[in-house]
Amino acid sequence: MNFIVVGCGRFGADLAYRLFQNGHQVVVVDANPKAFNRLHPDFRGRTVEGDSLSADTLARAATDKAEGVAVVTNSDTMNAVIGHTVRVHFPNVKQVVVRNYDPAMRGMLEAFGLQIVSSTAWGAERVQELMIDPSFRAVFSAGNGEVEIYEMFIPEKWNNVTVSALLDGCQEIVCTALTRAGRAELPAGETKLQRGDILTVSATLAGVRALRAKLQEGKEA
């Protein structure tokens, strides 16, 4: 697939190399030619120097042939304008993703209706989770960390308790899978848990906090 990465800072350079490693054709755009020095030495994609808001620059980057464009500069305003420009003038681009650099500017980006990834907000969310309780492992993050999928091990004190009993009273949390002896299933509410099971749940931070608190309480009488 053909992808364009606008902005060759640390974030953009790493993204471009990851896409290249996965076998995609990548074009990196930046107004500063020295920025391309951040690219990995093994990167074999194209680089285009120029103003990303210029029609000539977007044409030289072959935006009309791209399946996806990531706009990841350090300017939220620039990201919003470039992302909107690409979406309006290049309807062939299936996916336009923009980086939110400053969380305070997220509302402005959302006003454009763009797909947003906030590296700052997501990173802060993950650090918070690890500081609170590392026993819950996040395996997938949706949006910017508002909802995540966690894996947790069932302790001895919750052996033979049903899934519905474990989650009873916990809001903003849904059980998505139960893995036992290496085999996963979609558990029903009456499914009884066993020590060592891996329960996969989709939850907000509030939901995970409620479940952690309940696990610490132990098995109810």
**Mean pLDDT over the full length of the chain:** 90
The per-residue pLDDT for 220 is: 47
Terminal alpha carbon distance of the chain: 57
**pLDDT tens, 30-68?**
999 999 999 999 999 999 999 999 999 999 999 999 999
Burial label for 216, CB within 10 Å (0-12, 13-18, 19+), is exposed
**pLDDT tens, 64-106?**
999 999 999 999 999 999 999 999 999 999 999 999 999 899 8
Mind listing the domains of the chain with CATH numbers?
A: 2-117 (3.40.50.720), 135-217 (3.30.70.1450)
The per-residue pLDDT for 175 is: 94
Please tell me the distance from the alpha carbon of residue 162 to that of residue 182, in angstroms, as a whole number: 20
The per-residue pLDDT for 125 is: 77
Token couple for 152: 């947790």
User: Does the structure show a pLDDT above 70 at 189?
Assistant: yes
Please tell me the distance from the alpha carbon of residue 46 to that of residue 9, in angstroms, as a whole number: 16
Query: pTM for the full model?
Result: 0.69
Lowest-confidence segment of 17-26, 148-157, 163-172 by average pLDDT: 148-157
H or E element in which residue 197 lies: none
The per-residue pLDDT for 130 is: 64
The b-or-e profile of 148-161 (16+ CB within 10 A means b, else e) is bbbbbebbeebeee
Lowest-confidence segment of 113-117, 132-136, 141-145, 204-208 by average pLDDT: 132-136
Please tell me the distance from the alpha carbon of residue 172 to that of residue 18, in angstroms, as a whole number: 33
**pLDDT tens, 122-148?**
888 768 766 776 567 788 888 777 898
Confidence of residue 4 (pLDDT cuts 50, 70, 90): very high
Q: Helical H runs in 139-204? A: 163-167
Q: Which sign, positive or negative, has the C-alpha torsion 44, 141, 181, 135?
A: positive
Mean pLDDT of 205-215: 85
The per-residue pLDDT for 11 is: 94
CB 95 within 8 A of CB 115: yes
**pLDDT tens, 154-178?**
888 889 999 999 999 889 999 999 9
- Percent of the chain surpassing pLDDT 70: 95
The per-residue pLDDT for 9 is: 95
The per-residue pLDDT for 221 is: 37
| CA–centroid distance for 169 within its chain | 28
